[in-house]
Every structure is written in C-alpha cells, then in structure tokens.
Structure 1
C-alpha cells in the first residue's frame, strides 16, 4: 500500500526531525529506555512520536484498485480466489508501532513540561485509535494492548479481544485526544500535525465504519448496537462542523476548483484537516502524476461504472436518458457534473498551466478514462513532475468534505436525516462543484435504478431512506475518488459483490476513426483484427482484439481484463483478512478468520 522510496523516507525524516530520534534509538535498544535517557523535554516527546506520521499514514491512496478504479495488473482483491491466500507472516499483522505508542504513554510523565505530557499523550492515543481502526478493518477481533510488553510477557499470547471491546477502548482514546490536543489556531504546523479536529474526523470515520458494518452485516454483539456507533459518528462530525474552523476550498470557479484543490503544491488549510507534506526542496515525493502519465506505472483508468454515476449538469441521472449505453465519448461527457472533467481527461482537456489540448491516451489508461486528479502542472517539482516519484502536491488524510459526507450518511442510516442536514453537508459539496442541491424527498420518492441494480449498484439498500442513501453513496464515490476509501466502503456496506462487476471502459461501435479531444481530428483509429493497419494522419491506430479488446468482439466497451481469470468475491471469507500462519503457530490462542484455511488445527 505504501510506496515510498528510501530517499523519500530519509527526507521525511529530515522534515519531521526524526534523525535525532533515530540516532538515539540506535544507541540503545527500545527495551533499555530509562528515565535518564529519554522523555525529559517536549522535544524528546515530539521526536519519539514523529515516526507515527511516517509509518501509519498512507502515502499512495491514489492507486488503490476497486470496482471504480483499475490498473493494468489487477490487485489480488480484484482477482479474488486463490490470489488471496494466508501468508506465513506479515499481511498487516504488525505491532511495532503500537509498542512504540505504549512506551511513550508509559514514560511521558517523566517530562518536566506537564502541558507537553498531556499533548503528546493525546497525540499518541490518537494514533493508537488510528492503528486499531486499521486492525479492526482488516482482521475484525484483535488483541488489545495498552501497555508496553516484553517478549516474555504472557499477555502477548492471549486470545483476540472482541471488536466491541476494542472499539470501546478506541473511543476512550479518541475522546481523550479530542479533549487534549491543540486546536487549529494553536497547532502552528496545521494541517501537517494532528490537532483536535483531526481526532474528531477520525472518530466520525471509524464510528461510521463500525455502525454501517454492524448494520449491513447484521452483526449483533453484547454491548452497543449499530445505532450507537452511528450516533457517535454523527455527533463527532457535527461537533467539528459547529466549530466553524474549516470550509470547502472554493474560488467560485466550479469548473476548476476540484482539480486545483488536489494539484496545488500546498494543502489548503481550510479544507485539509490533516495532510501529508511533500516538498521539492527536501526531495520528498510521491508518484501520483507519473502513475497516470507514464505507461510503466500502472496504466490506471476509471471504470465505465464509475463514469456512469456522475450526474448530468442539471442534476438528473445520466443513466436515465435514452441511448446512454452506447454514447460516444464526446456525447457521454457533455453537460455532466463538472467534477467528471476534473477527474478524467475529457474533450478540451489541457494540463494545468498549458494550452495544448490532450486526448485520453489509450496506451496509458486501460479503460480510456484517464485520471487527472493529483496530476500537477508540468512545471512543478523543478519541471520533473512527470517523472517517476516526483510529485509534490500534498496528499489528504482528512479533509472537510469527507466529514460532511460522513455526517450525512450517519444520519441517513439512522433514519434521522432531514433536508437541513443535507443543506449543511452534501449540498455544500455540490454547490462547490456547481451542481444542483440534493432533495431528500425527491430522492426517496424515486431511488436511482442504476445505483440499486445488482449489476451496477447496491441492491441491499432498503427502507424509507433508500433513495437518499444511494445518492450519498454516489456523492461519496465521486468526491472521494482516488483517496483510498472505496474498498473499505464496500466492506462496511457488505457490497463485496461490486468487486465482481465488469471493469469496462469507453464505448466504440466498431472499426473507424474517433475524435476524443473534441478538435475534429481523429485521436484513435480502430481496425478489425487481421486487416491491414490503416495509414492515419492523426492519432494512433489500434487493432481490435489484439491492441485493444472490446466487450462485444468488434464493438463494445474497452475490456482490457476480459481474458483475465477472476474468481467471485467470497462473501463468507473476503470481508476480513487471514491471521498469518506463523502468528497462529506461536500463539495457539489466536483463532483464524472464517473461510481461511491455514492448515493449522489446535
């Protein structure tokens, strides 16, 4: 998941001041920490906690595959079946960072600065809640540890605690963090350091996850029910909203604001609650721009299913009009939600700061729907931004738009949503995009057929709020595209079947020349398999069935993965990951997750 070069880690270390901490740790092993060596000053606490940022925050959310976004080589999750196996070790079952957290909490009060003790204890408890959220998502029940343990401690070999117990402890941690972390004004490194609002955002996020997971998986545990967690999510999000310190980025240019937000060098401090800093001068990079521009970096593309979910500019469903299934690329991208043209190359597209019109490049995008989110001005990064690992736009961890979506969804799933809730959440996002408001009554009176169809949507959404829940999910998929949420959303909604849906791309009615940029010139010429390659005066020629595969043979949707063997999502297994074999061999109290066979029996 985290793809960051060694030199990037070093640069991040320099930025956050980790080198001094690492030097100290090299002098003595962690097990020999003493009062005389560490935790005497606020600087000690900061240096010891800095690795949490680098180790835990995802630096490449933009390339995670799902039913809405695929690459040339499908991920193991997308392939399914035997591509997902029980690992001998690793597999996300790592506790090193937790041990560091518990060490800091145990020794923090050795610092003479009481305010620093409270601040960095709160920061560490934020990251402990963050850490356990990832474990809960991945494994379900996991052992809870809140004290530093040595290799001989029997507690290391205990059974897994229930997710209810772990969630209760996570809420204790995050509530402490909310109460004791600095606010935005006092955290001068905002949005690159955790503050109380990041803690609110995390609480809303993991409580929404747990509430919807329990609701859609019909998971009833002793303790709290799903409604409790949804109420916690809604309250945390609303408290953040009521603080009035964050807002959506807008320059009143809906045709460009969404694109600019993610491509600019520095995170917008009004919308980004927590961001990961990248910097050309410090050689701190990621790979988002090259990922979508260099043919060896994945050849990503949005799926046709994703593109179909974007509404028309007037707020009506694209899939409600006649002939939508076989529209040309120019026709299907005309008069759509402006975020579509800020998420993929559409007719008339130019790079930021450039004037040359660029068509989608089928040699770089396997669906033809070529992503442009996080693609920077080519002059950025010293003019090297198009090279591998040279992107410098800051990446979001929490942003205000997600908080608004979490609030609306929690209220809708609870059945307490009213139009006023939408007006202060989802509709603010739509207004930034230049889209009409979502009307709750209209949505519930006529739920979108495409979003509820078993082939393209969520047939398990029912009840009086079915229509508005589907619309909130639509908005979530569009607004949070390429930000790393999709697979987790499918898991909590018990919608793993979406993984099995076809990874179609743009439509072609057969051999011929096609204008994709809108300039009247052919950008792509398709010719039938086995026929002579035509001479073309513009664009690129592709042989159908060889250089480009269509779903219907000589016509249809681009279907790059048509001949790739995939196995259906296993509803009884694939919502959780397996416990590694070596871990279960060492600790016989660890039970394996359902459906995973590791050959061990004890």
Structure 2
C-alpha cells in the first residue's frame, strides 16, 4: 500500500493493480471528521493531481522528427517491444484518489468550494482517461471509489472507448461549466481553470475524431465527425472569450519571440493556458537545458526530415529547391522560416544572454541539428542552469497556439475550413514570426509533394482539402516541436510507418573542413576512416565511420543509428500498447490488444 500525507494524516490509497485494491483499508474506517471540511482540505487533497499527471519532460519525447542517442523501444520495434509483466501505464492510483474526493467532497460546508474542486477533479479524471485511451484503447471505466468488497467491478472487462469517451465528455463539460472563469481567479497559469478544460476537450476530441477517421473505426454511438465538431466548439469558446482573451506572445520581434517564449523563467500569461511551475528558490527543476548541452544527457537532435519540413522565408517549400538533398548546412539554413533558427543552432547563433557565436556541437547532438528550445540564459537558475536538472523555465501544458492548430485541423478534416478560419488560426501563428499567410486555395490546388509521399509524408490524406491538411500538419510539427505531441499525432493519423524511418542528420560530402557557425572559421574537420587524425587550428576533428557515421560510408547524412537494428512499425500491433501480463492473470475478463502475444490462453 502507498501512503499519502494529507493535513498531517495518512490515508491508505493503493490502486496500482487489482491485487493492490484488494489489500486496501476502506476509507470508511478512517474518521471523516478531520477530512474534506474546508476548501483548504479539498485543495491539499487534489494538489497531487498536478504533480502526478502533468508531463514534466515533454522536450525529450522521441519521434521521426526528434531523436536522442538511445532510441526508445517504440522506434526500435520488433522484439524490442514485448508485453510487460506489470506497469507500463496500467496504473490507477490517481483515479482512486479522484473518486475518493468526489465521494467525500460534499462534507465540506463551503458549497462553492465543493463545486470548484469537484470540477477540478473531473477535469483530471478526463485527463487521466485520455491518457489511458491513447495508450490502450478500451479500458475499464471507474467513477466510484472501490474497495475489497467490490470484486465484480474490480475484475470487470474493458469498456468500449465510446463509453469511456462519453463519460469523459460528461466530466469535461462539468469542469467547463464549474471551474473558475473570472479574470481575477485565472490570473495564474499554474492552476486549472475553465479555459484549460476547454483546451483539454479540444485536444482529446481532435484526437478521437482523427483516430476514428484514419483508422476507419466505427463504433455504436458517435462518429468521428461528432468529435471533430466538439473539438471545434471547445477551441472556439477560448478563441471568442471576451472575459479573459488569450493571444499569442509577441513583442514584434519575429526573429526572437518564439525562442523567448520558451526560455523565460515565468510562463507567459497571454499564451500559456496551463503551465507547470519551476522555481530556483523552491528547488523545483527540470532538465531541458542540460539535456541539450551536456553530452551524457541524451545528445538530442532534430532529424533531416524535420529540418526539410520548415518552409523558406517566402513561404515556398525548401524541398522545391534544386539540390536540396545534398545541400550543406550553411546553405540549407539560409532564408528559412525564422522558427528554424529559434529551434536549433544555425549560423550566427548566440545563446540568450551571451554574444559568443556558437556552432552546432556534434558531440552533444547525434544529428548535428542541436535544439535550443527551452535552453535558458546561462545566468538563470542561480548560474547553474547548465547542470543536470537545474532548468527553471516553466513548461507548457496547454497554450493558445495549440488551440488554434486544433481548431484549424478539426475544421479541415470536417471539410468546413474557410480562408477566414485560417486567418484567425494558422496565419496568426505564422505572422508572429514574420511568415507569409497560408492560402487555402493555393495549398489545395498544389499539395506539397514532400508532405504527401510515403517516404516523407502522409499518403493516406486525400480529398479536396488534402493540401491544406498537409500544411496544417506541417505547421503543427514546427510550432509544437519538442512539446510532446508528435508520437501521438502519428498514431491518430495512422502514420506509424514514420516512426521507423531513418533518423538522418546533417549532410557532409566527405572528408574536409567545415564552417558551421558562419563566421569563416573551421568548426568541424572530418577525416577518412583509418587515416591519422589531422592537427586542427580550430574546431574539432572527427573520424568518419568511428566518431561520425555517415549514411553513404565516406559521405552522406550523419546517421548515428545506422548500425542499430530496427524493425518497421507493426501496423496491426503497435498503435496500442499491451495489457500487462499480471493484470490479465488476475483479471481473466481483460482481453489483450491485437497483435500482442502474452502467452495467456484464457
């Protein structure tokens, strides 16, 4: 059993698995007179939801667009993905806590507090189940606190995702109706308010609608269009709210605003709807800066595919240029979407708060495209920001840009998108960085080949809105880079084949000296395998085939993972995770997800 200290008392919570639940001490055996009597009690009891459930490291989630030194099992595929004995996301501790609060909140004498914290709890219950549905598909729905006497419910079968989604909609609509909505109550972006509930609804309805559309999943109840319409409506509530209007952060500096937004100590209240607070004085940290700068922390890098996705500054596709496949780093970085130079080190890069020009560091990035998003001023965090786990910039959970992207995508998939819709969503995002507007007619008349081919894009996108859907996906990948969305986006779009694609980096035509910073000085010297290491007056020398692996042997793209065994994405199996063996052994009513063999035959 797990112990959770609340108001100096210990409540036995449990619920990590069915057998944990059978060993619980019923809450009724603990005197209720000391609990749930005041708003403070309800707040203290619900505070762990924030810490336990919100993702505090979205910046390191790998995909076809962003990789680290060690690839996750999802990207290795094949036998690297097995059915675990336990865990793997099949945990229910937080849900039990939610249902406990909902069961006893009425003991509080403050009716307004009861409504507020029930709404908060139902927000987190919808959040909890969204994570479960994404991971497992069908899951058991529980809305009451269970104890050892509830064996029939403990060992019930999985409920359909339609039933779970229906209850999630009930929860989130209650949260929207009852969470704080006055500006004075929502001045902090660190507490859930009605706008965060709207953002969650727009997010999970977009996920469900597109998942059902592209997986051709038809269930009794609502169709994919219903969920897309609900996503549009929820996003629109935020976009048209006059009490507390959100907007994109901008200081009219398109060359730096995007980067600054994510490096600031404090979440921007105009754009961040919900954020996670980090603070040097309180010793609350994350690891984003060191993750990028310290060679032992993952060596992350954007892939060549991601870099190719960024448009030219004039709005044309980079991949329409002659010779783009073998373009040098200096040349490929010229005249690009300004978010590229605010996402990775490009020629002329200087870190926030410094004046020294820094080239990409190939010793800390396996692709050479070294990320700078969430990298703080070196003077931040008491001057220790470069150390492991010493970053203090707040991390976004929901921000206004994502809401705009959700709205545009949902309407495009429904076939109801207009140019006016693009002007108040995608084009606002583009204007922040000085990019030209997206024209719907032009995009649909000539869909970008790079985004539609199987090797680099989404061949299953079709219809009259094909071009604009592809462009919205491009915008989503770029704007939400390193915010933890990409893997789940590929799942809902039924584009899992992207996960197994090559993780190429920078292109090098062969041995030689290269200037990567644009200052005229040599930053990297590559020398042929087996030859003596040259003496260099500046920069670092790397041996091809040993310290730097290239896709073509002595030339080509950096390909750190070239010799790592990988298996293509399993279209039957890999869109859902397996139910752990121990859970199915305890509860024979739990069926296994398709394609996963756990050796159990009942």
Q: Is the 8 A contact 2:374 2:393 kept in 1?
A: yes
Give the 3 Å change call, closer, same or farther, for CA 307–116 of structure 1 in structure 2: same
Give the 3 Å change call, closer, same or farther, for CA 122–246 of structure 1 in structure 2: same
Give the 3 Å change call, closer, same or farther, for CA 189–22 of structure 1 in structure 2: farther
CA distance in structure 2 between the aligned counterparts of 1:145 and 1:24, rounded to whole angstroms: 24
Q: How many angstroms does 1:19 deviate by?
A: 6.3
Q: Is the 8 A contact 2:186 2:193 kept in 1?
A: no
CA distance in structure 2 between the aligned counterparts of 1:278 and 1:266, rounded to whole angstroms: 8
1:132 partnered with 2:129: yes
What secondary structure is seen at the aligned counterpart in 1 of 2:274? Answer: strand
Q: How many angstroms does 1:204 deviate by?
A: 0.2
Which of residues 35, 45, 50 is equivalent to 1:53?
50
Q: How many angstroms does 1:21 deviate by?
A: 3.9
Residue in structure 2 matched with residue 408 of structure 1 by the alignment: 408
Q: Is the 8 A contact 2:259 2:343 kept in 1?
A: yes
Q: How many angstroms does 1:35 deviate by?
A: 2.7
Q: What do residues 46-102 of structure 1 show as CA deviations (whole Å, max 9, x unaligned)?
A: 000000000000000000000000000111111111111111000100011000000
Q: How many angstroms does 1:309 deviate by?
A: 0.2
Residue in structure 1 matched with residue 95 of structure 2 by the alignment: 98
CA distance in structure 2 between the aligned counterparts of 1:75 and 1:432, rounded to whole angstroms: 34
Residue in structure 2 matched with residue 546 of structure 1 by the alignment: 546
Residue in structure 2 matched with residue 591 of structure 1 by the alignment: 591
Which of residues 204, 216, 219 is equivalent to 1:218?
216
CA distance in structure 2 between the aligned counterparts of 1:235 and 1:523, rounded to whole angstroms: 51
What secondary structure is seen at the aligned counterpart in 2 of 1:417? Answer: coil
Q: How many angstroms does 1:356 deviate by?
A: 0.3
TM-score for the superposition, normalised by structure 2 = 0.96
What secondary structure is seen at the aligned counterpart in 2 of 1:243? Answer: coil
CA distance in structure 1 between the aligned counterparts of 2:366 and 2:455, rounded to whole angstroms: 21
TM-score for the superposition, normalised by structure 1 = 0.96
Q: Is the 8 A contact 2:525 2:541 kept in 1?
A: yes
Residue in structure 1 matched with residue 572 of structure 2 by the alignment: 572
1:519 partnered with 2:505: no
Q: How many angstroms does 1:270 deviate by?
A: 0.6
What secondary structure is seen at the aligned counterpart in 2 of 1:354? Answer: coil
CA distance in structure 1 between the aligned counterparts of 2:106 and 2:380, rounded to whole angstroms: 44
Q: How many angstroms does 1:433 deviate by?
A: 1.2
Q: How many angstroms does 1:501 deviate by?
A: 1.1
Q: Is the 8 A contact 2:333 2:346 kept in 1?
A: yes
Which of residues 194, 197, 203 is equivalent to 1:196?
194
CA distance in structure 2 between the aligned counterparts of 1:385 and 1:60, rounded to whole angstroms: 16
Structure 1: runs of 5+ lacking an equivalent: 1-17
Which of residues 1, 4, 11 is equivalent to 1:25?
11
Q: What do residues 402-460 of structure 1 show as CA deviations (whole Å, max 9, x unaligned)?
A: 00000000000000000000000010000001100000000000000000011001011
What secondary structure is seen at the aligned counterpart in 2 of 1:396? Answer: strand
What secondary structure is seen at the aligned counterpart in 1 of 2:32? Answer: coil
Q: Superposed, which structure 2 residues align to 1:166-177 within 5 Å?
A: 166-177=164-175
Which of residues 184, 187, 197 is equivalent to 2:185?
187
Q: Superposed, which structure 2 residues align to 1:266-277 within 5 Å?
A: 266-277=266-277
Q: Is the 8 A contact 1:184 1:190 kept in 2?
A: no
Q: Superposed, which structure 2 residues align to 1:171-320 within 5 Å?
A: 171-183=169-181, 185-188=183-186, 190-244=188-242, 245-320=245-320
Q: Is the 8 A contact 1:80 1:566 kept in 2?
A: yes
Q: How many angstroms does 1:188 deviate by?
A: 4.8
What secondary structure is seen at the aligned counterpart in 1 of 2:34? Answer: coil
CA distance in structure 1 between the aligned counterparts of 2:300 and 2:282, rounded to whole angstroms: 28
Residue in structure 1 matched with residue 63 of structure 2 by the alignment: 66
CA distance in structure 1 between the aligned counterparts of 2:580 and 2:461, rounded to whole angstroms: 34
Structure 2: runs of 5+ lacking an equivalent: 14-23
Residue in structure 1 matched with residue 17 of structure 2 by the alignment: none
Give the 3 Å change call, closer, same or farther, for CA 247–33 of structure 1 in structure 2: farther
Residue in structure 2 matched with residue 419 of structure 1 by the alignment: 419
Q: What do residues 343-373 of structure 1 show as CA deviations (whole Å, max 9, x unaligned)?
A: 0000000110100000000000000000000
Give the 3 Å change call, closer, same or farther, for CA 162–26 of structure 1 in structure 2: closer
Q: How many aligned positions are there?
A: 585
CA distance in structure 2 between the aligned counterparts of 1:250 and 1:29, rounded to whole angstroms: 53
CA distance in structure 2 between the aligned counterparts of 1:23 and 1:30, rounded to whole angstroms: 15
Q: Superposed, which structure 2 residues align to 1:127-166 within 5 Å?
A: 127-153=124-150, 154-166=152-164
Give the 3 Å change call, closer, same or farther, for CA 112–443 of structure 1 in structure 2: same
CA distance in structure 2 between the aligned counterparts of 1:30 and 1:185, rounded to whole angstroms: 40
Q: What's the C-alpha RMSD, in Å, of the aligned pairs?
A: 1.3
What secondary structure is seen at the aligned counterpart in 2 of 1:275? Answer: strand
Q: How many angstroms does 1:187 deviate by?
A: 2.2
CA distance in structure 2 between the aligned counterparts of 1:445 and 1:22, rounded to whole angstroms: 65
What secondary structure is seen at the aligned counterpart in 2 of 1:129? Answer: helix
Q: What do residues 190-245 of structure 1 show as CA deviations (whole Å, max 9, x unaligned)?
A: 20000000000000000000000000000000000000000000010011100041
Q: How many angstroms does 1:328 deviate by?
A: 0.8
Q: Is the 8 A contact 1:184 1:197 kept in 2?
A: no
Q: Is the 8 A contact 2:26 2:147 kept in 1?
A: no
Residue in structure 2 matched with residue 428 of structure 1 by the alignment: 428
Q: Is the 8 A contact 1:184 1:195 kept in 2?
A: no
Q: How many angstroms does 1:531 deviate by?
A: 1.2
CA distance in structure 2 between the aligned counterparts of 1:383 and 1:465, rounded to whole angstroms: 50
Which of residues 82, 85, 90 is equivalent to 1:88?
85
What secondary structure is seen at the aligned counterpart in 1 of 2:33? Answer: coil
| Structure 1 ranges of 4+ moved more than 3 A | 18-30
Q: How many angstroms does 1:316 deviate by?
A: 0.3
What secondary structure is seen at the aligned counterpart in 1 of 2:397? Answer: strand
Q: What do residues 516-563 of structure 1 show as CA deviations (whole Å, max 9, x unaligned)?
A: 000001100001111111111000001111110000111100000000
Q: What do residues 124-175 of structure 1 show as CA deviations (whole Å, max 9, x unaligned)?
A: 0000000000000000000000000002312011000000000000000000
Residue in structure 1 matched with residue 18 of structure 2 by the alignment: none
What secondary structure is seen at the aligned counterpart in 2 of 1:25? Answer: strand
- Mean CA deviation greater in 525-534 or 512-521: 525-534
